Chains A and B, each alone.
Chain A
Amino acid sequence: MTRFFRSRLVWPMGALVALVLLNTISRPSFLSISVKNGQLYGSIIDILRDSAPLMLVALGMTLVIATRGIDLSVGAVMAISGAVALQFISKSTSPNRVGTVLIAIGIGVFITLLLGLWNGFLVAVVGIQPIIATLVLMLGGRGIALLITGGFITTITSSPYAQMAQGHLLGLPLAFFFSVGAIAIVGLLVRRTALGVLTESVGINPSASRLAGVRSRGIIWSIYGISGLLAGLAGILYSSNIMAADSNNAGFLIELDAILAVVLGGTSLRGGKFTLSGTVIGVFIIQTLTSTITFLGVPPAVTPVFKALVVILVCLSQSSRVRQYLGRIRHLRAAKPPIRLSGLETEVLAERKSG
């Protein structure tokens, strides 16, 4: 039982359950799922479908954060992959053929893989701080996406492309299967090969792991590549949902949601140990929170206030000062008599307190 409570997933899981309970109490229809034409409908299904782009981005972000990095460019990268794919389809003569759509997706995702590798190059080879290295693409990326679409919002009609975000498989939204597939592939990649352990070692101590023979440069490089690729796929899903390449709004502020999901899941921003299952829960928390806020009749624009409060609470709960304080309360009964300090020690302590 204590082991269960010490698990890092308890808190995020508890938050998710609390959110779902809150929703079910305020609207009993929340948990109900109806079947129409062999397809499932309901709030939960909506959450599963709508969370797909964030899920893909957050999985990549988890790995990047584990290397002590951060990827701010994911939103811009999403805009670029959508722009590339839709521009290709709109120029092609057979937009309804599956082959065309597959090629379009392939090109879009390949370009975002290159963009991810570019980020990795700046971080791992040139040695620029991750925040700034990815800020470059965050600033420039939307401009590039606008150039690709010629400054317009490209819209297309292509039924195979629309299927990705809007279609169903086995009664469930197809987009959900993209999430599941990405979770499975990334999970296998990092937990069944050495990549996960190596990533953690690079994140915990880059120079020590280099001395131990870990090729940190190549690992950081490939992690940013994976993040770019996943963001590209998310961009495809997003553009498939609205059937348009909206370079200004595609993935707008999604980098912040993704970071929030990772942190909520219990992965420390200081790098090192990471938990993919935590991130998955974090994504569902954010999506449920968004859906709750909309249901409560709060204007969606006010959502950032709630997110800010969540960020502050989570950061405070991770802070060592708060933990120490809580620990002190817990051990109050078993308090020992204060140790007598020498004059110098008192001075040093006073110094430390005054900062």
Chain B
Amino acid sequence: MRNTNTMDATSTGAIKSGMRRKMKARLSWIPVLAALAILILMLIAGQVHFGSFVTPAMLSSLLVDNAYLVVLAAGMTFVILTGGIDLSVGSVMAFTGMLSAKLLSVGVPVALVIPLMLIAGALFGTMIGVLIHFFDVQPFIASLAGMFLARGLCFVVSLEAIQVKDPFVLGLESARLGYGDWYITPTGIIALIVIAIAAWVLAYTRFGRTVYAIGGNEQSARLMGLAVARSKILVYVVSGVCAGIAGLIFTSYTAAGYSLNGIGTELDTIAAVVIGGTLLTGGSGYMVGSLIGVFVYGVIKTAITYLGADASWERISIGILLLAFVVVQRFIVARANRN
């Protein structure tokens, strides 16, 4: 940039490209704002239809009940931003939960169990990342193998559900900090901390910039001298660690480890991230969008419970919403390309 400014002819070009970049940045916020608009519209519609829909208790439960999904979405956002996908998160969440329940039941102290959960998640992430980067396996297939492996290992740990009685793990969900009808549990706080750290990492660190660069164009990122290999593997490790944290939250939420937990959660997570405005082709999206996406998902779930409608509508409406957002994304990408 500094070099081009010395020449008049190219400086106008630089300004133009700068403007275009700003336009592009603004363009990438459109899906996030659209998701926010939909969230607010749904809340208003719910309030009008049900009378007392938007209450402090409902808004609090929106975060607390979906805390595990917030954490998973934070990890998934990194992966999708690089243009990859991680189908293993639901199974890894179930596996780490199962592992913790088993370890706790044989008397391993909780201070050891929680780091072990995170390490287990990180190991799955590393395996998937190495397969993708060094062996050129497609992200879809590599994480599919991770998904199968984690799900099968759940059943190796135990075929039955294991109850968790550890007071610390249970306390993560049962302890409530409240003000009036507003309340939050430690799991909710964990989710907020995770998403805040993730947002900071994505926006202000070298790793975050590299993630965007890889999603934009991996070849260019490599030629620029960015640490593509390290970052590409690291995003899957981050996603795996997030799945480990989500496993902890889910275990304390259900007070048990069960092998069939979290089937289909990977799809919910991807849907939430996409609804939150992250482009599936990578390179564009924001952490706050994923948080909004999870809330949109949560409101749909709550509204369907309020309506007393069949639970199958939940899946159908998520499908329709996902479709709508993908089509909007398609339109935005087509427009950006034309510019």
Q: Which residues of A contact B (CB under 8 A)?
A: 70, 122, 126-129, 131-133, 135-144, 146-147, 151, 256, 259, 263, 269-270, 299, 301-309, 311-312, 315-316, 319-322, 351, 354-355
Contact = CB atoms under 8 A, between A and B. Distances in A.
Contacts of A137: 319
Nearest to B270: A135
Contact of A256 (B148, B156, B228, B280): B148
Nearest to B233: A355
A136 to B, nearest CB: 5
The 9 closest A-B pairs by CB, nearest first: A355-B229, A140-B319, A305-B152, A304-B152, A308-B148, A143-B315, A308-B149, A146-B312, A143-B312
Nearest to A148: B312
A319 B138 CA distance: 10
B40 interface: no
Interface stretch (B5-13, B46-54, B321-329): B321-329
A351 B223 CA distance: 9
Interface in B278-326: 280-281, 310, 312-316, 318-320, 322-323, 326
B138 A269 contact: yes
B22 interface: no
A139 B318 contact: yes
Contacts of A259: 141, 144
A143 B155 contact: no
B267 A311 contact: no
A310 to B, nearest CB: 9
A131 B138 CA distance: 12
Given A140-B319, A259-B141, A354-B229, 15 more contacts: A126-B330, A129-B280, A132-B322, A139-B315, A140-B315, A142-B315, A147-B313, A256-B148, A302-B156, A304-B149, A309-B149, A315-B141, A355-B133, A355-B227, A355-B228
B222 A355 contact: yes
B145 interface: yes
B152 A263 contact: no
Nearest to B274: A132
A315 B142 contact: yes
Interface residues of B, number: 50
B125 interface: no
Nearest to A129: B280
Contacts of A303: 152
A24 B287 CA distance: 55
Prevailing SS type, chain A contact patch:
helix
Prevailing SS type, chain B contact patch:
helix
B192 interface: no
B319 A308 contact: no
A299 B312 contact: no
Which of A136, A270, A306, A316 has the most chain B CB within a 10 Å cutoff? A136
B119 interface: no
Contacts of B147: 304, 308
Contacts of B140: 70, 131, 269
B312 A321 contact: no
A299 B159 contact: yes
A218 to B, nearest CB: 20
A137 B142 CA distance: 23
A327 to B, nearest CB: 15
Nearest to A139: B319
B85 interface: yes
A307 B323 CA distance: 31
B320 A140 contact: yes
B146 interface: yes
A126 B327 contact: yes
A229 B245 CA distance: 42
B181 interface: no
